[in-house]
Amino acid sequence: MTAVRRIQKELRDLATNPIDGVTVEPKDDNLFEWKCSIKAASDSPYKSGTFHFTVILPPTFPFKAPTVTFKTKIYHPGINDEGAICVPVLRDEWKPSVTLSSVLAIIQEKVNNPSPDDPFEPEIAALLKNDKAKFLAMAREHTKKNAM
């Protein structure tokens, strides 16, 4: 019961205070599975791309972190081929007080501002660090192919 009440509150909060560029919708009226998307910022390496991902909320939410999986392929140092995203708040920094709005904002920030630190994809991170122009070209190419 706690999970359902909390999820309904989170959805209400997101409807009242939407995050610009982020859409959230429960999948087939299942409160525990959300279809989400991020429209990349105009100054992002992924500009003009829209990236779809799912948020699966565990039955023990908010005491256990949600699982986030990108469905749209993205050339990103912090998101692997399986669509898993590397953000501390979804791992060891999770607390029941963390809101899903803040999680979505962190994911949006991570997508728009890739960092070579704490990578899931070390080769992509190395390219970002050592040859940013080539990284940006690869990011644009992948975005054009997968996210437009």
Residues marked active site are found at: 86
Region of residue 6 (phi > 0: left; psi between -120 and 50: alpha; otherwise: beta): alpha
Kind of pairing, strands 30-39 and 22-27? antiparallel
Inter-residue contact 11 to 26 (CB < 8 Å): yes
Sign of the Cα pseudo-torsion (138, 141, 145, 148, in order)? positive
Question: Which secondary-structure segment (H or E) carries 107?
Answer: helix 100-112
Place of tokens 């692997």: 80
